[in-house]
A = this chain, B = another copy of it.
Amino acid sequence: MSKELRQHIEEIIPLTDKDFSYILSHFTEKKLKKHQYLIQIGDKVAHTYWVSNGLLKATYTDEKEKEHIIQFAMENWWITDYQAYFTQTKAILNVDCLEATELLCLSYENREKLCKELHKMEHFFRRKANNGFIALQKRMLSFMTNSSETRYDLLLKQYPTLFQRVSKSIIAAYLGVSRETLSRFNK
């Protein structure tokens, strides 16, 4: 489980065994079952989570009680309510498990500590943030320029495995269309 984390970090920065075991000591483990909440609206968001196994969604619930999916997270992805985490305020999102999930948890304090003590970890997280920004900007762009049907096709192409793991209503909530409209896309 931690082997994968090491690999994940080493995609960006090289680590010695000592480095990694020190880094790993700042994480804790957590296991959740399907449908369990990792974060609920109003919670203090003390951690960011690295997914070693499983699948989660981060959702915003609007005033009509409709769920909008901001982010999925599967193996090797990070997830949390970033707004709440970075600004150390209360959660505005729910994060819950679409499958049984295993996580490595990194507290805000430990993340800042690692960044302070190990310059290369600060570099790692800067790079991660940059990549996250680019990915989000691509999604934004897709929202502005593509029809929902095109967005559906592109998602299908980009994450074919996702479609074997979640229902169409979930995909619809991510794409920002009703499940009925999405259903009519399947020719």
Q: List A residues at the B interface (Cβ < 8 Å).
A: 60, 62, 66, 68, 70, 82-83, 86-87, 115, 119, 122-123, 125-126, 129-134, 136-141, 143-145, 176
Contacts and interface: CB of A to CB of B under 8 A. Distances in A.
A177 B62 CA distance: 21
A145 B62 contact: yes
Given A68-B141, A70-B140, 10 more contacts: A60-B144, A62-B145, A66-B145, A70-B137, A83-B137, A83-B138, A86-B134, A115-B123, A133-B136, A136-B136
Interface secondary structure of A, over-half rule:
helix
Number of chain copies forming the complex: 2
Contacts of A176: 143-144
Given A125-B126, A129-B129, A133-B129, A145 B86 contact: no
A132 B129 CA distance: 9
A143 B143 contact: yes
Contacts of A68: 141, 144-145
Nearest to A61: B145
A137 B136 contact: yes
Nearest to A138: B83
Most chain B C-beta atoms within 10 Å of own C-beta, residue among A70, A137, A139, A143? A137
Given A60-B145, A122-B122, A145-B62, A82 B130 contact: yes
